[in-house]
Structure 1
Amino acid sequence: MRGWLAAFVILCGFGVFGWIVLGKAKLILAGPSDGRMKLEWKRVRQTVAQSFGHRRLLLDRRSGLMHLVLFYGFLMLQLGALQILWKGMSGTTPSWADNATFSLTQEATVALVLLAVAYAGYRRYGERIPRLPRGPKPLLVLLWIAALMVSVVATLAFERLQQRAEASVFAPLSSALAAVLPASGADAGYEISWWAHLLLLLGFLVYVPLSKHFHIFTAPINWLLRPADAPKMEPLNLEDDTAEKFGASELGDLARKTRLDLFACVECGRCTDVCPAANTDKGLSPMHLMTKLRDALQGHNKSFRPAIDRPIATSGGADIRSTMTWQTENWRAGETKPSLIGEVVTEQELWSCTTCRACEERCPVGNAQLSPLLEMRRYLVLTEGRMPSEARRTLQNIDRQGNPWGFPRKDRTAWMEAFAAEMGWRIPTLRDEPRPDWLLWVGSMGAYDARARKVTFALVKLLRQAGVSFAVLGAEERNSGDTPRRLGDEFLFQELCKANIETFKRHGITRIVTACPHTFHLFKNEYKDFGFEGEVRHHAELLSDLLKKGLLASRHPVNRTLTFHDSCYLARYNGVTEAPRTILAAIPSLETREMERSGKQGMCCGAGGGRMWMEEPGKRVNEVRTAQALATGAQLIGSACPYCLTMMEEGLRKHEADEWAGAMDVAELLALSVFGEPRESGDKLSQK
């Protein structure tokens, strides 16, 4: 009788589970396809490494090990559950489970899982890790898992009493429990614990797709379907005459991959913990962004009210308050669903993002938090024409004059005249050298900004010293389009992109080097969608290669201590972390010290995503990052990005550290070592 009843209960449990999962799958597949959700076999290795190797989870060793025990413990205990249930239903033990080794393995795993649960509870409610939300739901799950483990041991203990089995070292937990349980209650105890184990197991199975624990199933799929190439924005078809809008403003606009991301989110807070906007109190929490979109997608009408929810502290010390107080009521037939912008996500959240991808780099389930955010920016700019006034002014300047400041187009070549006057020789343009090995893309910062010009000068001198054939576009050079695209103006970006590609084709350009990581990423990864095929190198990569080939020799010592700040678009977007360090390692007497957050885990300077040209209220991101650099005690902050260089120098002034510390690009440092040139007489470092 028990067997048939149990089979019916199991069938019902799996039926409910399948019905819920099917509903979630339909909700995901109901979204429009944006080309990102595709199976690429080269992602299989990454999927295995992240899902089964816990590579990102183990960045936090204690949390990672705890999750590793819970993950593999559950996998191993499914065999034990199968053995317990099969024996209870059929009265026989499967041959593969009828041995002492299996028994010891199962009970040891139960003990480890209980320890992991206890530690998880301590981290959340005792140690009170800031990024971990506390409340009844997490506690319920921990108690549920603990009860499941207890039911396993209790079932095995009562089974030992029924069989009058002797205590065994291969069954330490059940033997110890059986020793204190009354033998007279063996039959009733076994029945109760066996059914408790079955119901707890099936209950948890049904609960999983209704909670954040659905990531058990969605996370591996998410990793497998994640695009294999460098992260990039997908192009919009602006010539679609049937399109009523561009970007995302409603729940129906959320793409399939975004919806899968929402259901994969585990609410661990790692994304918010490393978010520069979150760490400087800007109102943006990537975790809240995902959970709010997920809750809205699942059919809850969430009304907006300003930030009065409980604070969530981050590793940077800031208290990030949720920008929503949820007032939940289910949608009824014919009821209007909420708008994404304003009712689910605030405009402040959208414009606070620096697009640094720290959230995506730390996410253990492979989510792309930036995708819905940037799509909502596109909607505001392209469809409604709404954006911060500084962003509007920047886009107008780029459209009219080809640079963010609005300086005259004719001044783009002024840096070349200044260089010729200083050095006594002219930089070749494509008219002078029609078929160079490399096109040097100077960019708006390198051409107009006085500080970034020094980097351009150093790079030009190094290329000439190494005998590299290069030329510049001069007056033909335009804006690359990075700022318009990140701010949501896809129309202006595509206009610039197509014009630049036409220029490249006209001159037969197939190899480009640039000192700007944003331009580097754009040319290398996003111009491909518009027909550009060519080799694109960052100046740190090219200079590193020239050093390795012996075409440059860093002879002169630079007696300084330096810490290197990684550009987000160089390190996180494109994985370039070793090239700049190779340059620094080649410079005699230069002592380098790594910041705690460096490489792909480095913190943003605050200038990405168009934030370079916008006002930043309150605590500034660059000040926080500069403080991290100063904590190393280094005299110099190295960089390989004109935006980062500007932000670091500004941070040094804010911290009143510019009297004894400075910031330099790797090209400047290498030029200092190759040529032995003193820096400007007014430079405080050269005077020390």
Structure 2
Amino acid sequence: MLDFGVKREIFLDFSVGSKIAFYGLAAISICLFIFGIIQRIKKYRSGKDTKGISNIAVRFKDFLSLSLTNKTIIRDDLYSGISHLLIFWGFIILFAGTAIIFLNFDLLSLLNRAWNFWHGSFYLWFSLLLDLFGFAFFVGLLLMALRRAFLRPPCLDYRRVDTSPGTYSRRSYILGDWLFLGILLLIGVSGFFLEGLRIAMTRPPYSSWSFVGDSLAKLIIKMTGGKAPGVTFYKLIWWLHSLMSLAFIAYIPYSKAIHILTDPANFLLKEEVAGGVPPFAEDEVDLDKLGYMELKDFTWRELLSLDACTKCGRCHISCPAVISGSSLSPRDVILDLRDFINAKAKAFLLWDCQATSHEGEKLVGEVIKEETLWSCTTCLSCTEHCPVFVQHLPLLIKMRRHLIEGGFIDEGIQDALINISECGNSFGEP
């Protein structure tokens, strides 16, 4: 019999076998998530150690300010910034809501039924809050989808500046972006539709607190001629929503969705490099090891920073080298480095990397071309415009050092150095 009290059932008319199946799938999803996170951590641990983290209180304050306001995302692009803010807070509140349901039904209620708080005023306000932020979540995702499908700003153009069209493919990047957006949209839409079906079936007198679900319920009842939808159809949508949610949890460490974790971590742990030019590390004093040549040369913070990149393209469109038509794109440098490192670390990813193994390729000269490195003017525009504080310049400088160690110096720079040596100025004037 359906309960008309001020509460709702989580497993409405579900058998014990269905509940066991759900919790079994949830356990598998969580295990896949943990395994993926462990693989990421192993990759970071393969990098060099760095000095300790200083100014922890200041870092944490900045971390909260940047994370909760999304101000670095809003700063250069109001449309995408507001859209992301809606998605961010919608996701946070919906995640918190799921955690509260887990706490109530899977922990406290098992320990003592009297501790159940999923009823009365708490439930009503909880329902209102989840519908409000769930709707914000949906609107933000819809705006992002419209931006990619129709507005197509230059920053989302993944074409390379250093390679002719047809010699490479960025299809996996595009598929990864749409998969990420699509699965979140499907979770959001199916969640509201599920709520509408439940309200149409139970018709509780307090359904107006769930204003989105209540509106959908009225539409469903109207479309079915006043009849309540069947339990079988409700269960079908329930499983669709649940399976998509569990799939998303498992999908996070292997995809673009990892930025949910790596971006906040990069905010908190980013390296502070004065002027953007890195000093020599202790192991770079030996000229045989000057600069970056392979995976083990990167620090663990740099490896984390590469995973924080979301391919937003703001560094790309603000770079003077890109604007002038040279072979450097700071976005492509970060993506190429990430693909190279993931290939060497044998990381498993879903549509968030180029289809290349980098087998036998050298980092400097092949993965990142010499002319690309020398095209950088060290103006720091890329770093200034990056909303997640990826530091492009230190990586470019450290790879340049390897070129200098090997004697591969840009001809223009060689001429300038010779002129300074012989004439005392870079122009070669007496």
Do these two structures clear the TM 0.5 threshold for a shared fold by scoring above it? yes
Aligned runs of 1:270-669 on 2, under 5 Å?
270-299=314-343, 327-329=355-357, 337-382=360-405, 384-399=406-421, 403-405=425-427
Partner residue of 2:136 out of 88, 112, 116? 112
- Residue 23, structure 1, aligned to residue 47, structure 2: no
Q: Which has the higher contact order (CA 8 A, sep 6+)?
A: 2
Partner residue of 2:260 out of 216, 221, 226? 216
Pair 25,258 (structure 1): closer, same or farther in 2 beyond 3 Å: same
- Residue 78, structure 1, aligned to residue 103, structure 2: no
Match of 2:30 in 1: 14
TM-score normalised over the length of structure 1? 0.51
Greater Cα shift, 133-142 or 168-177: 133-142
CA distance in 1, matches of 2:180, 2:284: 50
Q: 1:209: how far off?
A: 1.9
CA distance in 2, matches of 1:380, 1:6: 55
Aligned length: 377
Pair 130,244 (structure 1): closer, same or farther in 2 beyond 3 Å: same
Q: 1:87: how far off?
A: 8.2
Match of 1:227 in 2: 271
Pair 252,110 (structure 1): closer, same or farther in 2 beyond 3 Å: same
Per-residue displacement from partner, 1:125-154 (whole Å, max 9, x unpaired)? 111111114833322222211111122112
CA distance in 2, matches of 1:84, 1:195: 17
* AA matched with 2:280: P
Pair 240,99 (structure 1): closer, same or farther in 2 beyond 3 Å: closer
Q: 1:186: how far off?
A: 3.9
Question: Given that residues 180 and 257 in structure 2 are in contact (C-alpha distance below 8 angstroms), is that contact kept between their aligned partners in structure 1?
Answer: no
CA distance in 1, matches of 2:146, 2:360: 40
Question: Given that residues 63 and 267 in structure 2 are in contact (C-alpha distance below 8 angstroms), is that contact kept between their aligned partners in structure 1?
Answer: yes
CA distance in 1, matches of 2:258, 2:247: 14
Aligned residues: CA RMSD: 2.9
CA distance in 2, matches of 1:106, 1:372: 43
Pair 190,340 (structure 1): closer, same or farther in 2 beyond 3 Å: same
- Residue 3, structure 1, aligned to residue 25, structure 2: no
CA distance in 1, matches of 2:121, 2:230: 22
Structure 1 runs not aligned, ≥5 long: 302-324, 409-688
The share of aligned pairs that are identical, in percent, is: 29
Structure 2 runs not aligned, ≥5 long: 1-15, 159-173, 346-352
Aligned runs of 1:237-252 on 2, under 5 Å?
237=282, 240=285, 244-252=288-296
* AA matched with 2:278: M
Q: 1:115: how far off?
A: 1.7
Give SS of 2:154's match.
coil
- Residue 160, structure 1, aligned to residue 199, structure 2: yes
Per-residue displacement from partner, 1:570-614 (whole Å, max 9, x unpaired)? xxxxxxxxxxxxxxxxxxxxxxxxxxxxxxxxxxxxxxxxxxxxx
Q: Larger Rg: 1 or 2?
A: 1
Match of 1:587 in 2: none
CA distance in 2, matches of 1:83, 1:250: 45
Per-residue displacement from partner, 1:417-436 (whole Å, max 9, x unpaired)? xxxxxxxxxxxxxxxxxxxx
Question: Given that residues 398 and 404 in structure 1 are in contact (C-alpha distance below 8 angstroms), is that contact kept between their aligned partners in structure 2?
Answer: yes
Q: 1:250: how far off?
A: 2.1
Q: 1:97: how far off?
A: 8.0
CA distance in 2, matches of 1:95, 1:363: 45
Question: Given that residues 86 and 139 in structure 2 are in contact (C-alpha distance below 8 angstroms), is that contact kept between their aligned partners in structure 1?
Answer: no
Give SS of 1:33's match.
coil
Larger helix share, 1 or 2: 2
* AA matched with 2:181: L
Question: Given that residues 251 and 297 in structure 1 are in contact (C-alpha distance below 8 angstroms), is that contact kept between their aligned partners in structure 2?
Answer: yes
* AA matched with 2:178: L
Question: Given that residues 39 and 224 in structure 1 are in contact (C-alpha distance below 8 angstroms), is that contact kept between their aligned partners in structure 2?
Answer: no
Match of 1:44 in 2: 60
Question: Given that residues 360 and 366 in structure 1 are in contact (C-alpha distance below 8 angstroms), is that contact kept between their aligned partners in structure 2?
Answer: yes
Q: 1:31: how far off?
A: 1.1
Aligned runs of 1:110-149 on 2, under 5 Å?
110-133=134-157, 135-149=174-188
* AA matched with 1:109: F
Give SS of 1:94's match.
coil
CA distance in 2, matches of 1:270, 1:155: 38
Partner residue of 1:190 out of 231, 234, 253? 234
CA distance in 1, matches of 2:424, 2:282: 23
